[in-house]
Structure 1
């Protein structure tokens, strides 16, 4: 049997003295007996010449390269909390050495005929050294090297004396390092291959033993037995550790930084460390803030220049009193300053529990942009050098001017643009904007390292602002989910507007909270209008994960309900018990008395397919003509794009350029520009700013519903469920110090989009019922009608109003609605159950398996392939799948971007027109998805482009119209994408 004694860690492994226990080792194949086996470590290859810069990389060298990268990750990237966890698992503070070993051993399964035969040149050297295989069998059957490694390592670790428990959690890390965790049976060699894929005879077995032994000793262990961990990491920690293994492997597999070493005499750990150091510096990789100092008493003032408001001080006090990392739920009014409180809380939690950064999840792409600005300023106040480490992750970030301004002059290479086909902004879906990878770029970058912005890597950035989808997708049984969970390791997670998660999304949110709770990752949830049942579900999910329980029931006596508003609920687990703090306080400002007015709108028979808007728009026009006669700013929120477009048309005919339109079917460029304009015109007053317009009307859809910091003098809104209605009310009279004309000096909400009836429940448009459900609309309408002519005290009444709609035992609709309400409730509950059940096949953990201890079989029955952005959205948001298209104009000379800039004859896009071209990206209505997938694809000039080849073009004619299936679409620079009547 092969053994090894290491002469010195800095010396080439080729100088290691190999002792052969047998004078002659024979590899027995099915066809012939091989002559004596030469040193197998000198021929087993890990990277072919084509993937290692022109010469093959020996397998042992690749394992050492990966281990050397892992050492740097430990020293410069992993959060203190992660290092402490690994130190505890390894025992005696040996986490760094164990981490390097786990990362390096990932490709152990390449020491098999199943892999070694795959490159002709490499195979010839292996065969020449005396290791043979049955050519017919290795080509007929397949055994992936990741699964092979996981299955084979168990035998060698058992022989080394490892405990069964340690082997149980370690082998899936090897078997799953290409993104999927198999079952033990699924990892084993196919029986029909008759052990030909692993290699028959003692030669292959001895070669693997030598590989494992030499690699282990080179790192500094006495032998493989010494590596056996003394602790058992949680399943969540295993998943995160698996992601770090993938990260180390991907870095060490970059042929531009790790050229092949094919001479055994040159193989060494010292060489691996030198290569890794150079690559790390060139890539510009780094972690977050490291070990934070104990927070100072005046931390809030130091960060934001003001003393905290009572609710903000309450949050700071609560997180300082928590006994372990846990979940913090902050419920406070719109404009209360929850974001600042959450950021300071994150800094305190990070200092107390060894966190190294933050992830801030927002409900939409539009709400991410202003949050990115806020988070970057906060991080810069902690340390100016950290501001460059904040990543913006969403699919339209290319159109965020601040993000673009932070990026270096785009000069990428194909290594990164080739992988730019991921979703949700986890890469750069609009590609090629990160700057060249060179020492100068790494030193001067004002955005995170380019490597972090590659496919599936975005959450690995030290500080991240993105959509909540980033977290939701980390709770799905999809390929490379471990990278997403590794990206959350060692971060404080902040999720804003969590009430926006419907029953389907809430399944993924609860699943994510389970894993975060088990990983002891602090989470801060923010909401202005959180239904009590939803709060209980979120708390229960986190505590179930932290306690490794299946049960999601948390009795009220364990975590009581808050009794005031604003309030904070904090929960954690210490040892076997759950702890909690529940506090309430007064808001920093007095309640607004918001007058409630109903503007009845007849619901025509056309409501089932698209609403007859003429009557309603005429009413809105008449009302605005009266209320804005002497000026003022109004916000009109419609529930559908079509309603918003028609209302905008009606108002613009009278008010002209004083009207703006904002919705989700504008092109990316138009939407970004209008959002910025609206925020500047109606946002917080600035001392030296241009001031508010004398009169302005913004017509919008749900985009203006949350995390949209505009202040309207008057709100007109379609009816929506109470929590969302209160969010919309939060956009009116939001800021102090704003001068408002007489007719709109008092806050008022005018609710329309439904028709109250005497002695019968209201009528609702079909589109509204389809979106929100008749039950919640009916209960909200009852409260709106009861309040008409009176006032709601905002925010004081917010908890009561929300609880009255969502708590069936707390409020009754009028008696003559009762039967209709009971039927609507039954339908709603059935739909809620069906939607919750429809999420189960995609959840990261199958029902009943949350208490499993290892990652074996985690992906069984999951989504294993690469998903498009449209499929990602469908997985976590339960909407009808919709697709984005790039609008181009076509004429006799070829193609032009929507902006008018010329493209090539076949649509070829040079770098200088790329922004203009992608500015024409627009999302189609979901009903056109099937037609778009069948009829649309890239232009001929895009087919060789590294990522435009994945885009769908929608060519417009001279009138900016196009036919798609049975539908005619037109793009209007003011209205956006319009579906013409058939």
Structure 2
């Protein structure tokens, strides 16, 4: 690759075929592996040590080849080196010289004393890639005479200082009983104390599953446990995984404040990691407030065009975000503290290029995953694969859920223990907790055998008796569901109060909102996933204020507030309402929605003193199977809806004790322990068979992408790990890989007039789509996610505006330009944006 250096090697007497060398694809990663496989045994290394070391060299460009891929014979070998003793002597000499330069007496002295686990090998491989990428920032050297170890070390120190890399909190003292007061300005609740106690008792890193009611304080308990684990087992940071991008954003602020309490100034090392973090106002403010060059809003970070991050150190040198190098593509998990979607862990369980960087970012941290029940059967395959690798690496993991099905819990425990013990565990024999809230913890004991502890305690608050009502919805009703809901709200909120309506589809949300708005005017709010980013953020904040714990912000006595929402309001939405109306969904999700009832200790109208959930979206047909809303069935499947309907109908007119009945209700539906009505049995059995087939199909679909191929978990090395795997994926491609379902796409909504493009709130962008700092917020705020049925048309018909193509944040964004009146044609649909309803999608009219 360098003519002068090549000539020097040639003059030294080493030969190759000058005419064919460029036709043979042979790079230094594979060549280095071949060299080690030949030289190390000659230097006295055992075969088992050579076997795990050479893949680290062969895989440092992101993919581990199998041994068969290293064969280079005949004409192909002669093209790169004439097979004679001189080449072999030179290569062996190279290994000996560099071994001496790094401080060893001979090559034999470098031989490891044992073979690390594959998870540790993968972490080490990720650190090698990290070192290689950092070294690539060094200036090249033109002359061989300038090469020396002293010069290399000096240059490495310089680039390290330039990058500003650092670790987390280092070695922590084990926190005492005062930790909760110090971190959160109050003492722990009973369940939080239990979490801390179990964390202190575990003799080795393991998996802790915390099951507790909505609003119990699981997050703070998990942060406390993470600090205990970090102090006891040497973890130097935390990854906090959330189910969605929307739930990541508030958690980022909470984790940043918590880290800052542990060590002032350390909050600057917390990174927000998800595909749309550029839309997060707090994250962008931290970046932009400290830009070194006020005229350069985006900075120049190597390989980071997709992020365009500005400099992160102010004029006084104080950092507000992690080093820029950490924030580049594929490197986010290497930050000391990370808040991101659970996808970030799932990506680390895929057979994709550079997966070792993701695993290196997780090993050495405490991993906390919230709302783990939200992982469906497809996602769960990647979650279990990730837990297996983390268990093998000895990473402490905390899983949080209010409504975790028992079988799912058992599978997650088994996956972690399979990695921790090195034995396959289909079932772990861990007993179920006798109460709720509960903590279940597993680990490998000193003999490598499974060990566990299961504890439970009482909730910090007493049971809430929630009345269960049903609003039958005939499939061919003369009026839309919106009018049915409006009648219910008018009756229940006659004396004022608050109501939350949750539907399973956006179309249904919009329909009900129209009906309620016609009836109650400005007393109705709307929240769903097809609002622009700006509208969604504003409405979320407004509703958190209106329905949150602060009494003085809630509607005054006699006033009403009704929020109609999609599943966005299902979890991690800290509101409290007097009445809940919800579509039928699987029981765990219904219970999650019930968690929005009387969540805070605020006053209520006398007529709404008793919490009530009204369930609609289906029709009771007595001894015949109920009619189910087709859209709900398409989302959740028929079996769980039938079983949930049976449980709901059995409770009609009565009450559920929340939270104490939550585990039994979830188990009843997911395990089918309570029979459905006799007339439904055939339908339920057929639905169960269909569900089983679907689960098997989705498991099979996921298996082809898992980090470890089926039947290869017992392999001792990383050789061939990437066989049959995917290449390097972008964020959207990786997300599609770990989430089974119809792909969707986000676009920027714009309008256009005689003067050019405008944002949907009227800011001018000129003829080419100006993307300067002054209008960037407006453009990003116009981001909206299209329904899946429009994905293909959007990919074929939409593109960035001309001025966006070189922009770091908008270069891959698609613009959907709406006419001043009416909708835009996209595929077979008309798409418009209503300031009240959000994105409205309808069929294209004839002509």
Same fold, judged at TM 0.5 (above): yes
The yes-or-no answer on 1:949 pairing with 2:811 is: yes
The yes-or-no answer on 1:456 pairing with 2:338 is: no
Among 814, 826, 829, the alignment partner of 1:964 is 826
Distance 2:772 2:321 in 1: 24
The yes-or-no answer on 1:588 pairing with 2:468 is: no
Shift of 1:800: 0.7
Shift of 1:676: 2.2
Give the TM-score, by structure 2 length: 0.95
The yes-or-no answer on 1:824 pairing with 2:687 is: yes
- The number of residues matched between the two structures is 836
Residues 153-552 of structure 1 mapped to structure 2, 5 A cutoff:
153-189=36-72, 192-254=75-137, 258-409=138-289, 410=291, 411=296, 415-416=300-301, 418-421=303-306, 431-435=307-311, 443-552=317-426
Distance 1:299 1:329 in 2: 21
Shift of 1:509: 0.7
Among 790, 794, 818, the alignment partner of 1:928 is 790
1:916 aligned partner? 778
Q: Is the 8 A contact 1:315 1:341 kept in 2?
A: yes
The 1:455–1:627 alpha-carbon spacing in structure 2 relative to 1, beyond 3 Å, is: same
Q: Is the 8 A contact 1:492 1:521 kept in 2?
A: yes
The 1:756–1:845 alpha-carbon spacing in structure 2 relative to 1, beyond 3 Å, is: same
Runs of 4+ in 1 over 6 A off after TM superposition: none
Among 626, 642, 645, the alignment partner of 2:510 is 645
Distance 2:358 2:37 in 1: 27
| Partner SS, residue 842 of structure 1 | coil
The 1:692–1:476 alpha-carbon spacing in structure 2 relative to 1, beyond 3 Å, is: farther
Q: Is the 8 A contact 2:15 2:81 kept in 1?
A: no
The 1:199–1:680 alpha-carbon spacing in structure 2 relative to 1, beyond 3 Å, is: farther
Shift of 1:908: 3.9
| Partner SS, residue 466 of structure 2 | strand
The yes-or-no answer on 1:135 pairing with 2:135 is: no
Q: Is the 8 A contact 1:408 1:441 kept in 2?
A: no
Shift of 1:902: 2.0
Distance 1:814 1:479 in 2: 51
Once the two structures are superposed, residues 880-915 of structure 1 have per-residue CA deviations (whole angstroms, 9 ceiling, x without a partner) of: 112222222223322223332222422242233222
Greater Cα offset, 369-378 or 473-482: 369-378
Among 734, 738, 747, the alignment partner of 2:599 is 734
Greater Cα offset, 589-598 or 708-717: 708-717
2:740 aligned partner? 878
Shift of 1:351: 0.7
Q: Is the 8 A contact 1:398 1:404 kept in 2?
A: yes
Shift of 1:640: 0.5
Among 599, 609, 613, the alignment partner of 2:471 is 599
Once the two structures are superposed, residues 166-208 of structure 1 have per-residue CA deviations (whole angstroms, 9 ceiling, x without a partner) of: 1111111111111111101113336551332245444443443
| Partner SS, residue 249 of structure 2 | helix
Among 433, 440, 444, the alignment partner of 1:562 is 433
Q: Is the 8 A contact 1:408 1:446 kept in 2?
A: no
The 1:192–1:128 alpha-carbon spacing in structure 2 relative to 1, beyond 3 Å, is: closer
Greater Cα offset, 368-377 or 243-252: 368-377
| Partner SS, residue 539 of structure 1 | helix
2:720 aligned partner? 857
Distance 2:352 2:379 in 1: 16
1:905 aligned partner? 767
Residues 673-688 of structure 1 mapped to structure 2, 5 A cutoff:
673-685=538-550
Shift of 1:578: 1.3
CA RMSD of aligned residues (A): 2.0
Once the two structures are superposed, residues 764-820 of structure 1 have per-residue CA deviations (whole angstroms, 9 ceiling, x without a partner) of: 111111101111101101111111111100001001101110112x20111111111
Q: Is the 8 A contact 1:418 1:946 kept in 2?
A: no
Residues 677-826 of structure 1 mapped to structure 2, 5 A cutoff:
677-685=542-550, 690-692=553-555, 694-736=559-601, 738-808=602-672, 810-826=673-689
Q: Is the 8 A contact 2:441 2:454 kept in 1?
A: yes
The 1:499–1:152 alpha-carbon spacing in structure 2 relative to 1, beyond 3 Å, is: same
Distance 2:419 2:189 in 1: 33
The 1:441–1:263 alpha-carbon spacing in structure 2 relative to 1, beyond 3 Å, is: farther
Greater Cα offset, 788-797 or 899-908: 899-908
The 1:413–1:312 alpha-carbon spacing in structure 2 relative to 1, beyond 3 Å, is: closer
The 1:188–1:818 alpha-carbon spacing in structure 2 relative to 1, beyond 3 Å, is: same
Q: Is the 8 A contact 1:873 1:879 kept in 2?
A: no
Q: Is the 8 A contact 2:442 2:451 kept in 1?
A: yes
Shift of 1:829: 1.2
- Structure 1 gaps, min length 5: 1-117, 422-430, 605-611
Q: Is the 8 A contact 2:828 2:843 kept in 1?
A: no
Distance 1:374 1:347 in 2: 15
Q: Is the 8 A contact 1:331 1:529 kept in 2?
A: yes
Give the TM-score, by structure 1 length: 0.82
Distance 2:73 2:741 in 1: 40
Distance 2:90 2:768 in 1: 55
- Structure 2 gaps, min length 5: none
| Partner SS, residue 391 of structure 1 | strand
Shift of 1:128: 5.7
Once the two structures are superposed, residues 853-902 of structure 1 have per-residue CA deviations (whole angstroms, 9 ceiling, x without a partner) of: 100000100111x3344332221110111222222222332222333222
Greater Cα offset, 872-881 or 943-952: 943-952
Q: Is the 8 A contact 2:372 2:400 kept in 1?
A: yes
Q: Is the 8 A contact 1:284 1:442 kept in 2?
A: no
Q: Is the 8 A contact 2:752 2:818 kept in 1?
A: yes
Distance 1:613 1:506 in 2: 42
Q: Is the 8 A contact 2:495 2:605 kept in 1?
A: yes
Distance 1:967 1:540 in 2: 47
Q: Is the 8 A contact 1:138 1:197 kept in 2?
A: yes
Once the two structures are superposed, residues 468-514 of structure 1 have per-residue CA deviations (whole angstroms, 9 ceiling, x without a partner) of: 10111111111111111001011111111111111111111110110
The 1:172–1:674 alpha-carbon spacing in structure 2 relative to 1, beyond 3 Å, is: same
Once the two structures are superposed, residues 382-432 of structure 1 have per-residue CA deviations (whole angstroms, 9 ceiling, x without a partner) of: 1112111111112222232222232244536664274343xxxxxxxxx33
Q: Is the 8 A contact 2:298 2:808 kept in 1?
A: no
Distance 2:834 2:44 in 1: 72
Among 832, 843, 848, the alignment partner of 2:711 is 848
Shift of 1:733: 0.5
Greater Cα offset, 326-335 or 155-164: 155-164
Distance 1:724 1:126 in 2: 68
